């Protein structure tokens, strides 16, 4: 009986390592995908903020 639990403990370790490797792989792939789209996203946000600030500045000058 004790031998069964020792073998089972090793099997659990391998299963946890496999799950960890899958999670790390998913995180790396997601990070690479996000990295590809981030520069464009920040550029769009910067353009929107600049446009909004220009609109606010122009409307404040009309008063």
Per-residue model confidence as pLDDT tens digits over 29-61: 999 988 888 888 888 899 999 888 888 766 655
Q: Is 3 domain-assigned?
A: yes
With respect to residue 46, please indicate whether it lies within any of the assigned structural domains: no
Residue 11 lies in a domain: yes
Q: What is the pLDDT of residues 3-14, one digit of tens each?
A: 655 566 677 888
Q: How many residues does the chain have?
A: 63
What integer pLDDT is reported at residue 19 of this predicted model?
A: 96
Q: Cα–Cα distance between 2 and 26 in angstroms, integer?
A: 37
Instruction: Using alpha carbons, list the distances in angstroms from residue 11 to 1, 21, 59.
Output: 16, 15, 69
pLDDT of residue 53: 82
pLDDT of residue 9: 66
Range of the domain at 2: 1-25
Tell me, yes or no, whether 63 lies in a domain.
no
Q: Tell me, yes or no, whether 44 lies in a domain.
A: no
Q: Does the residue 36 lie in any domain?
A: no
DSSP 1: -
pLDDT surpassing 60 at residue 26: yes
């Amino acid at each position: 009986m004790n031998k069964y639990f020792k073998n089972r403990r090793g099997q659990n370790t391998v299963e946890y390592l496999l799950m960890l490797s899958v999670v790390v792989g998913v995180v790396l792939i997601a990070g690479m995908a996000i990295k590809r789209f981030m520069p464009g996203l920040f550029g769009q946000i910067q353009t929107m903020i600049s446009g909004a600030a220009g609109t606010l500045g122009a409307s404040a000058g009309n008063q």
